[in-house]
């Protein structure tokens, strides 16, 4: 699996998220749909998982560990604004920053770095799994 394939997968989901956020306000992003998570949580969850990708590439993450907890799997639904809820504009900027950092890290990652062990597979496999999760 090559860096260019992973970069292409991330570019596709980046564009999809950008298109889906068009016209969404912060207030709209907090509306909790039945049987799912609000847009705010979903975007924050993507940024959270992009931090995992950045860590796998030994690149600078976007968030600290403390900032990520609100958007963990299994966290309480976001139903209103609060001190632990990031504004959608902030989430958008952090998503863009994660895209820039991932693109740069992947461009500099050699085959050996992508083939290195990570969990039960390789760094490349972990990145692709996270990219598919994001999509």
Predicted pLDDT of residue 89: 97
Predicted pLDDT of residue 35: 85
Predicted pLDDT of residue 119: 82
Q: What per-residue string of b and e applies to 51-90 under the rule 16 or more CB within 10 Å gives b?
A: bbbbebbebebbbeeebbebbeeebeebeeeeeebbebee
Predicted pLDDT of residue 104: 97
Residues of the chain with pLDDT under 50: none
This prediction has a pTM of: 0.91
51-85 pLDDT, tens digit each: 999 999 999 999 877 777 889 888 888 888 988 89
Predicted pLDDT of residue 54: 96
Compute the distance between CA of residue 105 and CA of residue 100 in angstroms, rounded to an integer: 9
Predicted pLDDT of residue 1: 60
């Amino acid at each position: 699996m090559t860096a260019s394939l992973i970069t292409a997968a991330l570019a596709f989901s980046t564009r999809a998220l950008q298109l889906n956020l068009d016209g969404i306000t912060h207030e709209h992003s907090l509306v909790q749909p039945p049987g799912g998570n609000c847009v705010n949580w979903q975007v924050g969850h993507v940024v959270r998982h992009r931090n995992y990708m950045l860590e796998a590439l030994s690149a600078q993450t976007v968030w600290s560990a403390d900032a990520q907890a609100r958007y963990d799997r299994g966290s309480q639904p976001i139903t209103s604004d609060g001190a632990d809820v990031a504004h959608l504009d902030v989430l958008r900027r952090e998503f863009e920053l994660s895209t820039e950092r991932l693109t740069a890290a992947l461009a500099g990652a050699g085959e050996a770095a992508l083939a290195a062990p990570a969990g039960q597979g390789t760094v490349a496999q972990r990145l692709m799994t996270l990219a598919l999760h994001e999509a």
